[in-house]
Amino acid sequence: MKVQPHDFKKLKISIISPEMSGAGVVRSFLLAQALKMLNYQVEILGFLVEGKNIYVTPAFDVSIFSVAVDDNYQNFISASPKILEKVDGDIIYAVKPRSSSFGISLIKKVMSRRPLVLDIDDWELSWQGGDDWKYSPNPKQLAKDILKKDGVLRNPDYRFYLKLMEKLVSYSDAVTVNTKFIQNRFGGVYLPNGKDTTLFDPSKYNPEMSRSRYHLSEYKILMFPGAPRPYKGVEDVLMALDLIDQSDFKLVIVGGSPYDNYDDILMETWGRWIIKLPNFPAEKMPEIVAAAHVIVVPQRDHPATRAQFPLKLTDGMSMAKPVLASRVGDIPEILGDTGYLVEPNSPEQIADTLQLIFQDLHVANDRGLQARKRCVELYSIEAMANVLSNVIDQVM
C-alpha cells in the first residue's frame, strides 16, 4: 500500500512515552517514524531514569525531550509539570495506559482541549496479577505504602494506578492496539508493529561477512535479538540445544536484559550454548540479524505473551531469515505459513524443528524470503502509516 503524506497541514503530534530507558520506548519510536512518513511534525517526551541512557537510539531524526526521575519515579509529581509544559502538539499521543504517559496526557487534554490518542501495546497488568489482583491493605500497610520512601503508592506506575488508568481508556479520542488480544480487551484500531524494511533489507548485507565480523563464522547461529525474560522461552531453546548436543549450535542473545540478572542465571546453566552481544544502535541491527541462520521467538504461554507482538518476529521476517516461533497470541497469524511453528514450552519440538531446518537450509531460506514479502506488505512502517492516517483523520 502506498503511503499518502498529509501535505495540506503540518500538524504536530506529541508522543508521551512512559519510559525512555526501557524497551517500552521502542513502540514510541515506531509510531513517530510512521507519523513522520505522513509528513507530520513529531516530538517524543518522557521520563529517563537517572544514570541510564535511552534504551535504543532511533535510526531517524526525531525531537526527543526527557525529564530525569529516580528508579521508582519518586520525583514524578515534581517532574511531571516539565513534561506538561513542553507538550504543544495539535494531537497528544500517549503510549501505554500508565500514569506516567496516559495520566499526564489526560491532564494535558483537559488543559488544552486537544485530542488524545492512546496506544496500548502490552497488557500492563498481565505480569502483575491481572484481573485477579486487588489492593486491600490494612491501615498500617496503607501508611507504609504512602509514606515510606520506597512505598509502592509513591510509584505512579504501580498496579493500583494501572487498574485506574485502564478504567479511563474510554476518555481518549481514539485507541490504537498492536495485538488482537488487546483489541478484544480494550477495543481500538489494530496497529501492529511495523519494521523499517528499507533499513532491514537483506540485499544490503552479506551474512558470511556479518558472521565473520562478530566472530560467529564457525557456528550455526540461532539469534534472540532482545531482552530475555522467563516467559519469553529462551530456556526452552537452551534445553533444546542440550537435547541436540552439537557444539556448533549457538544461541546469540543481542542486548540482554536491562532489568535484572536473568542473563547471568542463563549463563550459569547453559553458558556453553550462549554468545552474548551488547546493545547496538537501531541502524546496526540489520547487520547483526544478517549473521543469524535462524531467528528464535519461543514465547511461553503466559498472559503477557498472549498480549505481545514480539519485535523479534519482524526482525527476522524483514531480513528474510527462517523464524522459529511458538503458537502463542498473534504469532501464527503474523507469520502465516512463512515460518516454523512449535507448541509453547516444548524443547523437544524446538530441537526437532531446528534439526529439520538445518537439514535443508536452502528450503528454510526460501521460506524466509516469503516472510520478507509478508513483512513488507503487512508489517512495515508504511503499513503502520496507512492505518495511522485514518486514525489521525478521525480525531481531527
pLDDT per position in the chain (396 positions), as tens? 556 555 545 899 999 998 888 777 889 999 999 999 999 999 999 999 888 888 777 878 899 999 988 877 878 888 899 999 999 999 999 999 999 999 999 999 999 999 999 999 989 888 777 888 888 888 899 988 888 888 888 888 899 999 999 999 999 999 999 999 999 999 999 999 999 999 999 999 999 999 999 999 999 999 999 888 888 999 999 999 999 999 999 999 998 776 678 888 999 999 999 999 998 888 899 999 999 999 999 999 988 889 999 999 999 999 999 999 999 999 999 999 999 999 999 999 999 999 999 999 999 999 999 999 999 999 999 999 999 999 999 998
Task: Report pLDDT for 355.
Answer: 97
User: How many residues are there in the chain?
Assistant: 396
**CA 208 to chain CA mean position, Å:** 28
Helix crossing, 311-318 with 361-378: angle to 10°?
A: 110
Q: Where are the alpha helices (DSSP H) in the chain?
A: 25-37, 76-86, 104-112, 139-147, 159-167, 180-186, 207-213, 234-244, 262-270, 285-290, 303-306, 311-318, 331-335, 347-359, 361-378, 381-395
pTM of the predicted model as reported, rounded to 2 decimal places? 0.88
**Residue among 51, 1, 49, 50 nearest 25 (CA):** 49
End-to-end Cα spacing for the chain: 23
Cβ–Cβ < 8 Å for 307, 123: yes
pLDDT of residue 8: 45
Q: What is the SS3 assignment for 352?
A: helix
DSSP 230: G
Please say whether the beta carbons of 47 and 66 come within 8 A. yes
Query: What cell numbers appear for 323 in the block?
Result: 523464524
pLDDT value of position 147: 86
Task: Give me 312's grid cell.
Answer: 523479534
Question: How far apart (Å, rounded) are the C-alpha atoms in residues 309 and 296?
Answer: 14
Contact present, 217 and 211 (Cβ < 8 Å): yes
Distance from C-alpha of 365 to C-alpha of 391, rounded to nearest angstrom: 37
Assigned superfamily of 12-194+381-395: Glycogen Phosphorylase B; (3.40.50.2000)
Instruction: Kindly state which CATH superfamily the domain 202-378 is placed in.
Output: Glycogen Phosphorylase B; (3.40.50.2000)
Give me the residue spans of the domains in the chain: 12-194+381-395, 202-378
Per 3-state DSSP, the chain is made up of helix, strand and coil in percentages (nearest 5) of: 45, 15, 40
Reported as type and span, the H/E element at residue 92 is: strand 91-95
